[in-house]
Chains A and B, each alone.
Chain A
């Protein structure tokens, strides 16, 4: 790769062969990160964001999975403190985990760039809620860009870096499932930005140490910066005006823009690329230029509320369209004010645990023993569906342990002793370790049983590595967190490792013994995911050869 002052980074064969490509939004973000010299990409796997780091690594970028999104964000912040460019990726609920650093890093004057990708999942294709993370930009005071296709995913990533460095603030790149996973044509090299700085460190206590004495002026500085960015967004932001009919004007952003263009090709459209801080002057002028102005947005009434607060008279959508994704048909209904019931899709075949999946044995046993199962997030969430129906709760990553303990504390003894917490290996590393600390620190009178379903991979999101596998994002050998050692070191005396599929009867006896004990037990049900087993063996063989 070479660098040209006028064109930025150029891959050698870029202009000849790869100028055009059919890419997913995720791949386009990765390509922009690579083309702009992002020094490190961090994140935790989560649909629909996972492919960003995987692609970045394949292109030759340095990418790594962190144990969870909070840690990933913190590592990325450190990179930005060094003057280099950082990218951190996560799904929408991941930003809840990373919200603590997010709100304070917004105050901090960054030396490099910090791009935070939040991949939202309206319609919940693969998530436990459909929260709208545009609210985070507003709440934390972080500028936000919203691409509507892969070309914009590419360009907005570069623009986000530019904005981040110009104003020394983090930038939220807010994507949604249809932008992340749809493939559309990308022309590479359309936006060029300056070369990144060499990493370096200078002490700057008031800018980076958020004790109250420094945080108070830092907050004022942030608000002043946001006001400046708002002016810039009005004048030169990545927003687009499509002149059409003067009778209908539509303000929109993200994927909704594409549906709008299909459903109402005659309408005038103000497409917002930067949706925080908003270009309110432009929105006001646009609304005044048309007879009817309607805001078309997926999810929460974020834009419409902001417009109305600013005194801009706009129509919004009926509450029923807050739920699920938009599409061109729904956009037409919103424009027509149609709130009649929508046709329900014919139910498809639900997903199921694979035949031969080791989780099957675990749920068979837990059901046989009449357990109350505090569950968690992963493939094994499918244990709630027939034929098992053996998982009683799912809240968020790691909640199995806390919820299980709470049930143990409050249920009458005959029910309390049947409570089991179940979570996967990657989920345990993500947010289960602190739960295990709680279990040791505040043990219920009846004891507790934690089952870690260790299938050796982050299966649900497509077989990513994690600290318990002892391999990095690109499957190279690294330090390994050994769950049984960890549990023992925390003071759990009953720690067992067992293959639940190979030794089904023994596994059943073991769970029964643990339930009867009134002590704390950790059972590691270890057997590689059926779909990953062959690759795992291959990675291990390669790593073995390299060591020898």
Chain B
């Protein structure tokens, strides 16, 4: 039997880069040779409403949707969307939200989505080069520097989190 896939839910509001973040994560997993599925709903959500995107990867993935209560990681870009998506997270799953990042350190505040991916990256076994390559493929060149910086800030911020909460993986 196949081992269970890793489940990540990325959530926020329309325009915050939820889909972009899930594209980058899915690309990293895909490049690592894993089976990947990614799913979200488009349409009305583009108009500033709640948006969430499911990314699943492992040796074999069937349903593209993360079952409720089975997300290993919940990445939330808008603080007020934590409650809305809380049910996605499994017991012992890890919440990654903007409180982990000092936004004033970001050279472009819009890169908060990528900064949170930086936090997530500490928990996953993909090499940092795979992340920077995926950032390059999924973002226009003029945004590369700001996003690489945001990613590094996120990746460093996670150290603090581990120390304070003792969570590990």
Contact = CB atoms under 8 A, between A and B. Distances in A.
A496 to B, nearest CB: 28
Contacts of A482: none
Nearest to B60: A261
A481 interface: no
A262 B35 contact: no
Given A182-B37, A182-B64, A184-B37, A349 B80 contact: yes
B49 A349 contact: yes
Interface in A25-77: 47-48
B139 interface: no
B87 interface: yes
Nearest to A184: B37
B47 A379 contact: yes
Nearest to A329: B67
Contacts of B87: 343, 345-346
Give the 9 A-B CB pairs with smallest separation, nearest first.
Answer: A126-B43, A348-B50, A351-B49, A351-B47, A182-B64, A125-B41, A261-B62, A182-B39, A47-B43
A185 to B, nearest CB: 6
Given A125-B41, A265-B1, A351-B45, 11 more contacts: A126-B42, A181-B41, A182-B38, A183-B38, A258-B62, A328-B63, A329-B68, A345-B87, A349-B48, A351-B49, A382-B47
Nearest to B69: A329
B160 to A, nearest CB: 29
Interface in A375-434: 379, 382
B77 interface: no
A352 B49 contact: yes
Contacts of B30: 22, 185
Contact of A348 (B26, B27, B36, B84): B84
B108 interface: no
A461 B44 CA distance: 9
A188 interface: no
**Range for the number of chain A residues in contact with chain B:** 35 or more
Contacts of B50: 348-350
Given A181-B40, A184-B36, A262 B63 contact: yes
B86 interface: yes
A178 interface: yes
A27 B85 CA distance: 28
A178 B64 contact: yes
Contact of B65 (A178, A345, A354): A178
B65 A328 contact: yes
B36 A183 contact: yes
A262 B64 CA distance: 10
A524 to B, nearest CB: 23
Contacts of A353: 47
29 contacts: A22-B27, A125-B41, A125-B44, A126-B41, A126-B42, A149-B37, A149-B64, A178-B65, A181-B41, A181-B42, A183-B26, A184-B37, A184-B61, A185-B30, A259-B65, A261-B62, A262-B62, A262-B63, A265-B1, A328-B62, A343-B68, A346-B83, A351-B45, A351-B47, A351-B48, A352-B47, A352-B48, A354-B48, A461-B43
Given A265-B1, A346-B83, A348-B49, A177 B41 contact: yes
A342 B104 CA distance: 42
A258 B49 contact: no
Contacts of A327: 63, 65, 67
B13 interface: yes
A4 B30 CA distance: 30
Interface of A: 22, 47-48, 125-126, 149, 177-178, 181-185, 255, 258-259, 261-262, 265, 327-329, 343, 345-354, 379, 382, 460-462
Interface string B98-124: 000000000000000000000000000
A178 B56 CA distance: 14
Main secondary structure of the interface of A (DSSP, over half): loop
A235 B72 CA distance: 43
Contacts of B35: 185
B40 A351 contact: no
Contact of B46 (A184, A329, A349, A462): A462
Contacts of A261: 62-63
A258 B63 contact: yes
A23 to B, nearest CB: 10
B93 interface: no
A149 B23 CA distance: 17
Contacts of A460: 43
B14 interface: yes
A458 to B, nearest CB: 13
A47 B49 contact: no
A47 B43 CA distance: 6
B14 A351 contact: yes
Nearest to A260: B62
Contacts of A47: 42-43
Contacts of A182: 37-39, 64
B46 to A, nearest CB: 7
A352 B83 CA distance: 20
Contacts of A352: 47-49
Contacts of B41: 125-126, 177, 181
A346 B64 CA distance: 21
A228 to B, nearest CB: 34
B119 to A, nearest CB: 23
Nearest to A24: B38
Contacts of A349: 13, 48-50, 80-81, 84
A265 to B, nearest CB: 7
Q: Which of B50, B62, B68, B80 has the most CB of A within 10 A?
A: B62
A255 to B, nearest CB: 8
A177 B50 CA distance: 18
Nearest to A263: B63
Given A185-B30, A349-B81, A328 B67 contact: yes
A353 B62 CA distance: 36
A346 B65 contact: no
B46 A351 contact: yes
A461 B42 CA distance: 9
A382 B67 CA distance: 30
B126 to A, nearest CB: 15
B13 to A, nearest CB: 6
Nearest to B5: A262
Contacts of B47: 351-354, 379, 382
A327 B50 CA distance: 20
Interface string B18-37: 00000100110010000111
Contacts of B37: 149, 182-184
